[in-house]
């Protein structure tokens, strides 16, 4: 009975997904696109500190697409940085980002990053597609 119970649990495990992210609004092909996908609200928007997050870093091509693979089902939020100078951080001037930033669900950015609840989206099924528009303030 114990073995059949384990087999049922293994068969009942939800399939892992791929999250495809299309990036719109890049103002240049300089630098690196850095993105992070998390389901832990405590680490949003600084999910690079979340050990369970999915991270993506790539040269900034025109028409950038990101692919997070083997994502467990759940609710997630994404933050994207167009790190134009490649220094691995979001450069700021008087608290305003100098480089492009974007978030899942493309919330309106007025006085800081959105909440996790605002950027949250479901990951269900084998493939999820979303588009994130980068915002440049300076």
With respect to residue 95, please indicate whether it lies within any of the assigned structural domains: yes
Is residue 93 a part of any domain in this protein? yes
Cα separation, 131 vs 118, in Å, equals: 15
Q: What is the pLDDT of residues 27-77, one digit of tens each?
A: 999 999 999 999 999 999 999 899 999 999 999 876 689 999 999 999 999
- Average pLDDT, whole number, for the chain? 90
Say how many domains are in the chain.
Answer: 1
103/77 Cα distance (integer angstroms): 7
Q: Is residue 107 part of a domain?
A: yes
Look-up: residue for tokens 């850095």?
Answer: 34
Instruction: Note down the domain range covering 33.
Output: 15-133
Structural domain contains residue 1: no
Asked whether residue 64 is domain-assigned, the answer is yes
DSSP state of 135: B
Angle at 52 between CA 51 and CA 55, to 5 degrees: 85
Distance CA 78, CA 102 (A): 8
pLDDT tens profile 74-129: 999 999 999 999 999 999 999 899 999 999 999 999 888 999 999 999 999 899 99
Split at pLDDT 50, 70, 90, the class of 13 is confident
In a domain, 125, yes or no: yes
Q: What does R_g of the chain's alpha carbons equal in angstroms?
A: 17
Has residue 119 been placed in a domain?
yes
At residue 2 the predicted structure's pLDDT band, cuts being 50, 70 and 90, is low
CATH number, position 120: 2.60.40
């Amino acid at each position: 009975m114990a073995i059949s119970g384990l087999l049922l649990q293994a068969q009942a495990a939800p399939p892992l997904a791929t999250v495809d992210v299309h990036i719109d609004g890049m103002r240049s092909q300089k630098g690196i696109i850095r993105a992070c996908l998390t389901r832990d609200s405590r680490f949003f928007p600084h999910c690079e500190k979340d050990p369970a997050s999915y991270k993506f870093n790539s040269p900034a091509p025109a028409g950038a697409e990101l692919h997070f693979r083997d994502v467990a089902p759940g609710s997630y939020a994404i933050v994207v940085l167009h790190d134009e100078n490649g220094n691995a951080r979001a450069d700021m001037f008087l608290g305003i980002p100098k480089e492009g930033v974007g978030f899942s669900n493309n919330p309106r950015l007025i006085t800081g990053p959105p909440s996790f609840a605002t950027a949250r989206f479901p990951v269900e099924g084998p493939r999820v597609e979303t588009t994130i528009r980068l915002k440049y303030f300076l």
